[in-house]
Structure 1
Amino acid sequence: MVSVRAVGDTDRPRLAPHVRLEFDPARGRHLLLSPEAVTVLNATGAAILGLCDGRRTVAGIVAELRGRYQVVIDGEVREFLARLVAARRLEIGDGDG
């Protein structure tokens, strides 16, 4: 079982170097591509990952999403990010760098 690290407000998520976020016109969906897996994302997942640039904090990502959507459950955003960190598809930097 993989341990899931909690994601904090000042963490700065970014895609791992071996992972890409791409739009697949044939499916009309965003894909998260890594050497071991292809994940078809829904619009919300793609929006979250599109904000994971290593500069924005988790709190900033949640705030940006709140500006786009009527309902944003920050616990669900954090859980989504934490699962991707555990799967090594996202890396987390802290607020110091």
Structure 2
Amino acid sequence: MTPRFAAGVRLHHDVARGRWVVMAPERMFVPDETALEVLRMVDGARDLDAIIDALAEKFDAPREVIAGDVRALLDDLVVRGALVT
């Protein structure tokens, strides 16, 4: 599984509000800091395992814990139409 943003969806830094947002047609998501770390790695090139491995290493956390959290987040954003796999 290689997640990527759906057509018309992008991660964008809203300078006026000083925060990152996921811009989608006619809607916007405001990710928390944890979600933002994951979304910054969604580039259409890294597969799910590469994202999980990178985050587990970056935060020195158990891979199983990171994997569960990342999968839940990505699955939610797929259901919302923000990501495709």
Which TM-score band (shorter chain)?
A: 0.7 to 0.9
> Cα offset for 1:42?
1.7
Matched, 1:80 2:73: yes
- List 4+ stretches of structure 1 deviating above 3 A: none
- How do 1:1-97 residues align onto structure 2 when only pairs under 5 Å count? 11-71=1-61, 73-92=66-85
Compare the two structures and name the one with the higher helix fraction. 2
CA deviations 1:15-42 (Å, max 9, x no partner) are: 0111010012233221001113111112
Q: Distance in 2 between matches of 1:88 and 1:41?
A: 15
TM-score by length of 1: 0.75
Q: Distance in 1 between matches of 2:19 and 2:60?
A: 22
CA deviations 1:42-83 (Å, max 9, x no partner) are: 222122111111111101001111122133521011010001
- For structure 2, the residue ranges without an aligned partner over 5 or more in a row are none
State the superposition RMSD in angstroms: 1.4
CA 1:28–1:68 in structure 2 vs 1: closer, same or farther (change >3 Å)?
A: farther
Report the residue type matching 1:51 in the other structure: M
Identity, % of aligned positions: 37
Report the residue type matching 2:18 in the other structure: G
Report the residue type matching 1:48 in the other structure: V
Q: Distance in 1 between matches of 2:50 and 2:11?
A: 20
- For structure 1, the residue ranges without an aligned partner over 5 or more in a row are 1-10, 93-97
